[in-house]
């Protein structure tokens, strides 16, 4: 058990960036501390013997479920726009991309 | 009849059909009850008063015209706030979705409506179903009706509290790692997590899609069977919904367990499980033996890895499922639009998501990132196989598995919330059913220190019938379902 190295705050910052989540300075410190404790606990699974054990992504034996490609009535144009806080005409308004 | 809010779903629908009680007068009795007690409990995020009254009138009109009414005629159902309801806001108890009004109904909601049920409102939950106490809600905690200082369990805490406080006749919850069974146990309700694939997830806001199911939370086993009969069955809009014939689960309500073989996993009664949580369950098993069941000790050796494996898988799936919340098409969008897309997106997600949601997204991203993918995610998926094998082996010799639902009694609000790991430990006995996909039900099995204790019954895939029969036998011969919190 154990055997996991301590993750430095820089790495947490990097992962948070990948996840598109801004963290405040205080949160970076608290989260780093919590993550290290949680990951140390998770590392308990290292000791389990899983050689030649297949993966279970999913409990059902379903593979590629198909359905007929039928046309159904779609939503009216303004329906999907109703929940957007910023829009212009019939478009969602995005922030600057670059 | 001034206290008609007390009626169970099965009785009520009969009375509405025969016009002995009108759906509208019953609904008003529930609304008055909500007005009287919800200030203390805070089970609801949104109450759909006007819509519910209009529905009740329609149902009464149908009854007067002599039209055939559905199985849930006039039954007032509270719905967890992560299940989409057309025209009624659906928040996931998150600031991110505070103002989100779905343009469509989840399949389970369509089915409730077709059965002439009335949606009374949306119940409080841990934000995005991530928690076991209903304390991480953006709208504030729900309190346990049995003791207002205690947590009601979670994440479907609002649904469970509403049902036992008689602020609804029945409720829907969702269960990713115990989120129906935990609050059912803590509030003295019957709560069922169906077999994965039995109930459509279309319209359930996703947290960990390979683990979660929608299920009923009720005061009696009969009502549980009734709701399950309505919401289960194949749905072409959910590709993980299984094509099996629809069932009338009421036929399993037989008070008889003669010849039933019960397995008691030693891991469910071992270290880390409090005496107060164990004793009532062992007494309950003793009762079932009196009625003709036999029991033996079994072992699920891989149980010790179940909790970390569960959390790694759930967080990994969450990091992917919650990537869609960017505030653009719906969801929280900060006034400050400064910076490029990445910066705006990351800011919306910092403000829109609470701490636990952000913790799980970041940890899930970590577990899926290059270098750790194999060590955490793939390893957890292999452990999932080991746990499945252990259960398959156990079920060769027994018909059902019984243990406590929770390893400890309901605890104080605020007691564990600052220590995520300590909170995760509460799920130790409920996560195996999600990892395996097996059905599991929590039924009230007594009280300790004036707080409810639930017995968990786990069954073979799609054998909900046996779970209901065992729970029904126990309930009918003991009567814990008749107790109500002092409100």
Give residue A62's pLDDT: 79
pLDDT band for A96, please (50, 70, 90 cuts). confident
Active site residue ranges of B: 80, 155, 179
Mean pLDDT for chain A overall: 90
Return the domain boundaries, chain B: 1-487
Return the domain boundaries, chain A: 9-46
**Is A4 a residue whose pLDDT tops 80?**
no
Flag if B382 and A54 touch (Cβ within 8 Å). Answer: yes
Own/partner long-range contacts of B256-259 (Cβ < 8 Å, ≥24 apart): B256/B291, B256/B292, B256/B469, B256/B473, B257/B288, B257/B291, B257/B292, B257/B293, B257/B469, B257/B470, B257/B473, B258/B291, B258/B292, B258/B293, B259/B292, B259/B293, B259/B294
Flag if A15 and B369 touch (Cβ within 8 Å). Answer: yes
Over residues A51-69, the pLDDT tens digits come to 999 999 989 887 888 888 8
Over residues B274-312, the pLDDT tens digits come to 999 999 999 999 999 999 999 999 999 999 999 999 999
Is-contact B368 B316, C-beta < 8 A?
Answer: yes
Superfamily of domain B1-487: Amidase signature (AS) domain (3.90.1300.10)
Give residue B299's pLDDT: 97
Q: Does B434 touch chain A (CB under 8 A)?
A: no
Close Cβ partners of B250 (under 8 Å, ≥ 6 residues apart): B222, B225, B226, B229
Q: For chain B, which residues score pLDDT lower than 50? A: 1
**Is A2 a residue whose pLDDT tops 50?**
no
Is-contact B200 B107, C-beta < 8 A?
Answer: yes
Pair of tokens at residue B158: 């609002």
Give residue B486's pLDDT: 93
Give residue A16's pLDDT: 97
CA distance A73 to chain B (A): 13
Q: What is the CATH number of domain A9-46?
A: 1.10.20
Better-scored residue on pLDDT, B139 or A96: B139
Cα–Cα dist B408/B17, whole Å:
42
- Using a CB-CB cut-off of 8 Å, the residues of chain B touching A79 are 103
Give residue A64's pLDDT: 83
With 0-12 CB in 10 A as exposed, 13-18 as middle and 19+ as buried, what is A81? middle
- Using a CB-CB cut-off of 8 Å, the residues of chain B touching A27 are 355, 358
Q: Does B339 touch chain A (CB under 8 A)?
A: yes
Partners of residue B162 on adjacent β-strands: none
């Amino acid at each position: 058990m154990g055997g996991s190295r301590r993750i430095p705050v820089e790495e947490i910052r990097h992962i948070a960036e990948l996840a598109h989540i801004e963290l405040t300075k205080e949160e970076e410190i608290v989260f780093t501390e919590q993550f290290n404790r949680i990951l140390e606990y998770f590392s308990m699974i290292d000791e389990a013997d899983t050689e030649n054990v297949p993966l279970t992504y999913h409990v059902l034996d379903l593979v590629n479920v198909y359905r007929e490609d039928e046309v159904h009535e779609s939503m009216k144009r303004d329906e999907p726009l109703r929940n957007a806080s910023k829009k212009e005409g019939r478009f969602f308004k995005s922030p600057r991309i670059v | 009849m001034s206290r008609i809010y007390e009626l169970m779903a099965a009785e009520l629908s009969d009375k509405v059909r025969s016009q002995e009680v009108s759906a509208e007068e019953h609904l008003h009795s529930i609304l008055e009850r909500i007005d009287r007690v919800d200030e203390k409990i805070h089970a609801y995020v949104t109450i759909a008063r006007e819509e519910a009254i209009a529905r009740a009138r329609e149902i009464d009109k149908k009854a007067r015209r002599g039209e055939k009414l559905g199985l849930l005629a006039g039954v007032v159902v509270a719905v967890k706030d992560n299940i989409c309801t057309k025209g009624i806001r659906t928040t996931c108890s998150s600031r991110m979705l505070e103002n989100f009004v779905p343009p469509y109904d989840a399949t389970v909601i369509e089915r409730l409506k077709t059965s002439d049920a009335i949606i009374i409102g949306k119940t409080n939950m841990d934000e995005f179903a991530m928690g076991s106490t209903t304390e991480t809600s953006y709208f504030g905690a729900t309190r346990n009706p049995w003791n207002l200082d205690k947590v009601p369990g979670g994440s479907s805490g609002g649904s469970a509290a509403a049902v036992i406080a008689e602020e609804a006749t029945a409720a829907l919850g969702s269960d990713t790692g115990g989120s129906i069974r935990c609050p059912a146990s803590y509030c003295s309700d019957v709560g069922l997590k169906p077999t994965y694939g039995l109930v459509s997830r279309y319209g359930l806001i996703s947290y960990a899609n390979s683990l979660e199911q929608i299920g009923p939370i009720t005061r009696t086993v009969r009502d549980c069977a009734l709701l399950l009969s309505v919401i289960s069955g194949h749905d072409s809009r959910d590709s993980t919904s299984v094509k099996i014939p629809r069932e009338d689960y009421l036929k399993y309500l037989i008070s008889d367990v003669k010849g039933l073989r019960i397995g008691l996993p030693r891991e469910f009664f071992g270290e880390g499980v409090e005496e107060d949580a164990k004793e009532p369950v062992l007494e309950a098993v003793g009762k079932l033996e009196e009625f003709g069941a036999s029991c033996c000790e079994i072992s699920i050796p891989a149980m010790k890895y179940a909790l970390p494996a569960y959390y790694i898988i759930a967080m990994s799936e969450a990091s992917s499922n919650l990537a869609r919340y960017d505030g653009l098409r719906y969801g929280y969008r900060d006034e400050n639009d400064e910076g490029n897309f990445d910066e705006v997106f990351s800011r919306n997600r910092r403000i829109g998501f609470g701490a636990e949601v952000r913790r799980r997204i970041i940890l899930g991203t970590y577990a899926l990132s290059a270098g750790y993918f194999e060590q955490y995610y793939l390893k957890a998926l292999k452990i999932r196989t080991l746990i499945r094998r252990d259960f398959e082996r156990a079920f060769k010799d027994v018909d059902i598995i019984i243990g406590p639902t929770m390893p400890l009694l309901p605890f104080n609000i605020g007691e564990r919330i600052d220590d995520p790991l300590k909170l995760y430990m509460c799920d130790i006995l409920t996560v195996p059913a999600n990892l395996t996909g097996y059905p599991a039900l929590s039924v009230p099995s007594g009280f300790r220190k004036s707080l409810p204790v639930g017995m968990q019954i786990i069954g073979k895939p799609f054998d909900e019938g046996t779970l209901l029969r065992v729970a029904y036998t126990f309930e009918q011969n003991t009567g814990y379902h008749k107790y109500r919190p002092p409100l």
